[in-house]
Amino acid sequence: MTCFVLGGVQSDFARNLAREGRELVDLCGELIDGALADAQLEASELGVIHVGNAFGELFTGQAHLGAMPATARPALWGVPAMRHEAACASGSIALLAALAGLEAGHHEVALVLGVEQERNVPGEQAARFLGAAAWAGHEGQTARYLWPHMFSQLADVYAERFGLDDRHLAALSRKNLGNARANPLAQTRGWTISEATFAADDAQNPRIEGRLRRSDCAQVTDGGAALILASAPFAERWARARGRSLASTAQIRGWGLSTVGLPLEPKLARSAAGGLVFPHVAAAFQQACARAEVTLHELCGVEVHDCFTITEYMALDHLGLTPPGQGWQAIEDGRIERTGALPVNPSGGLIGGGHPVGATGVRMVLDASRQVTGRAGACQVDGAHTFATLNLGGSATTVASFIVGARAAG
């Protein structure tokens, strides 16, 4: 891989755009300005724009979001732009498209935006809109909240095949909400958290669907993230002009992508004989590591998709941290804490940080790039030089993983 991250920005995920009287166009404009400023570039230097967005038509009635950057900032008129959708992996797909164009030599500099507005409708309506990422009309029709219902089924499978202690799920929620308190852009950073937050108590921590309680669920979020990516030749010129060294610039070194069918049940049935529940999830991560020529033990941390606590629990054994079904080992021995051997979600993840669906894949890579360049602030992992991401769309239908590194951190 020869793609460098020259800059990036994230919005405050605690914001409610509708209450501010703002729209997606305003958010896009803010992200464009912030990313260009962070990279010390002008709009005229951008060669292409890729927008990740999952649900614009449903939440806002707005399609054709590839044209939104030029709508927000007329300086971008004429710059090729396109929108990408893959549910919660939409931002990662936008990143992959940008990487492909840079590596092919079609462009030297790409702006990648991930944006979503979800808090402008009531909660149950938001849940119905989000359900479009499942196999619509074929699964989850009886559930009040489709995605908690679907991922509760995953928790049931872990319980049946391996045994599952709900206290381990509560520990993941506690970790991620705790990490988010140090993140100045996290949606939950100002929440009042106590042991009652994680209690197995239907009054204090009600069940949402099946096994999953309120504390097991990520947030409905407005927000976005942006990255400016560049080819190696452009990055070298950029660094020289600013008196910098590429040794301290984040680089996307590897990627993996796997896509399977929409419904959950066939995914679970394929692994019924034993082993990992979702082998294709592990395959995407392994592809990224192989392309980057790194092993799990060389990573300094991972940002994983914790739309629900059981999703992060699943990620632990699929990353290879533990044998299949034994993710509890990595929770109990502390290795996934921010000060542990392999921190997982030091940003707070989706549960603590927030989950604006189309932005999540971009936000993960932004956080990884900040970690490996020593710019992660209070969320910084000491000595970080190589980070991974694992981003899922739907019921682990689209799986994307990136490896981000820098030759010298900080």
Evaluate whether 125 touches 256 at the Cβ level (below 8 Å): no
Q: What is the pTM of this model?
A: 0.98
- Which of 25, 20, 27 lies closest to 356 in space, CA to CA? 27
Host H or E run for residue 17:
helix 17-20
Residue 348, CB half-sphere, CA atoms under 13 Å: how many?
28
44-88 pLDDT per residue, tens: 999 999 999 999 999 999 999 999 999 999 999 999 999 999 999
Per-residue pLDDT of the chain (410 residues; tens, 9 = 90+): 579 999 999 999 999 999 999 999 999 999 999 999 999 999 999 999 999 999 999 999 999 999 999 999 999 999 999 999 999 999 999 999 999 999 999 999 999 999 999 999 999 999 999 999 999 999 999 999 999 999 999 999 999 999 999 999 999 999 999 999 999 999 999 999 999 999 999 999 999 999 999 999 999 999 999 999 999 999 999 999 999 889 889 999 999 999 999 999 999 999 999 999 999 999 999 999 999 999 999 999 999 999 999 999 999 999 999 999 999 999 999 999 999 999 999 999 999 999 999 999 999 999 999 999 999 999 999 999 999 999 999 999 999 999 999 974 43
**pLDDT tens digits, 155-199:** 999 999 999 999 999 999 999 999 999 999 999 999 999 999 999
Q: What sign has the CA pseudo-torsion 15, 31, 311, 324?
A: negative
First to last CA, the chain: 21
